[in-house]
Amino acid sequence: MEKEIQKADSPAKKPWPVFMGWVGNTTALIGLFASLAGGVAWFVNHHRQKEEYQAKIALAEAQAKQEEYQASLQTCAEILKADPLDRTALDLQLNTAMQWTEDFHVSDIEGKSSAEQAASALDEILPILDAALPRTKGAQAADVQAHIGWVHWLNKHIAYREFGSAAEQNFRTALASDPSNVYANAMLGNWMLQNGASFTQAVQHLEIAVSTGKVRPFVRELQLGGLIYLDKPGARAELIKAVGQMRASNEPIDGGTKRRILAYCFDSVVRDHAELVESLSAVPPDESWRTYLWLDDNADGGQFQQLAHDFIHANVLELQGNRQEALDSYRLLDRKLENKPGSMKSSVDAAIARLSKK
């Protein structure tokens, strides 16, 4: 009887495990689908974030390339809010800050002085450079150290709010770790020329910077800027050597810089003949003449330009030792200047008297 009851109960028990198995399988499938959906959502979200990140990096790079340095730094700052250790963004931020330091200038804004604008900009740049110094090594660390020094120089000469030797100390610290560092040598050389330090050592630092072949336009800017109008023997000679190299290697130079060098080194109404001799003797006479013509390439110079060319060429002939040819050139020029009294006429008369005595 008991066995019959058990047999009668057993069919009633079978549907429940089957049902539970079905529920379990369904739950597993739902979980699987949910996991897949979550994975897809994560992938889509990750892809979108990656695209946004790449777009911001590209924007910051474009802004820096267009010399919109402040905007580029702001874009980098937005990226770093999400990940303060993002190396790509940190490197881009650092490079932009250094680029802005090299190309530093301020625009006229009504109601705000240039010194105030400079101070505001430099306050954005310096913390970035200071923060980068601990994480950089070797030549890159020296680059950063030198740029910190240049910010201090700008703080002193443009923002007018800093005194002392912080700039020089940073340049020398950079050189101590990397003696051939292009930035430290160029910046220190320029600093020495402007502060009356050793002229010979300043020239050596600038020559080292040029010899590296790196950031050549920036190096030339500091080299020429430090030498033009420098009231020191040898400055004109070094300047002509530099621009002679630039001419030979077809380096770019703007028209304003050319005119300033002409006025400083090849002034045809110069009263001190020794200054002109220094300029023309810096390189071989033929090279000096070609460099002069390269600098004075104004096609609309007119009659005065031709007279100036004749005067400089006569001086070149004299320096070459072609006494008679130089004397003839001076006499021909003297006749052209017969009714044009002035400094050039006086210089030509002095040259004729000088050569006639030999």
40 domain residue, yes or no:
no
115 domain residue, yes or no:
no
DSSP structure class, residue 164? S
Count of alpha carbons within 13 Å of 144, Cβ hemisphere only? 21
* SS3 label, residue 109: strand
Locate 66 and state its tokens: 């267009």
Q: Which residue has the higher pLDDT, 108 or 298?
A: 298
Separation of alpha carbons 142 and 124, rounded Å: 20
Separation of alpha carbons 203 and 193, rounded Å: 8
Least confident of 8-22, 224-238, 248-262, 311-325: 8-22
Q: Which of 240, 325, 236 lies closest to 287, judged by CA?
A: 240
Average pLDDT, the chain: 88
201 domain residue, yes or no:
no
Grade residue 324 by pLDDT with cuts at 50, 70 and 90. very high
Q: What is the dihedral of CA 332, 338, 343, 347, to 10 degrees?
A: 30
Q: Which of 241, 243, 201 lies closest to 221, judged by CA?
A: 243
Query: What region, left, alpha or beta, does residue 55 occupy, with left being phi > 0 and alpha being psi -120 to 50 degrees?
Result: alpha
Separation of alpha carbons 330 and 335, rounded Å: 9
Grade residue 61 by pLDDT with cuts at 50, 70 and 90. very high
Task: Encode pLDDT of 257-273 as tens digits.
Answer: 999 999 999 987 766 88
* pLDDT given at position 5: 46
Separation of alpha carbons 58 and 293, rounded Å: 44
Whether residue 214 contacts residue 182, with contact meaning beta carbons closer than 8 Å, is answered with yes
What average pLDDT does range 150-171 have in this prediction?
A: 94
pTM here is 0.83
198 domain residue, yes or no:
no
297 domain residue, yes or no:
yes
Grade residue 139 by pLDDT with cuts at 50, 70 and 90. very high
259 domain residue, yes or no:
yes
Range of the domain at 307: 234-358
Task: Encode pLDDT of 178-237 as tens digits.
Answer: 999 999 999 999 999 999 999 999 999 999 999 999 999 999 999 999 999 999 999 999
Residue 34 has pLDDT above 70, yes or no: no
Number of domains observed in the structure of the chain = 1
Locate 250 and state its tokens: 């077809």
Grade residue 23 by pLDDT with cuts at 50, 70 and 90. low
Residue 28 has pLDDT above 80, yes or no: no
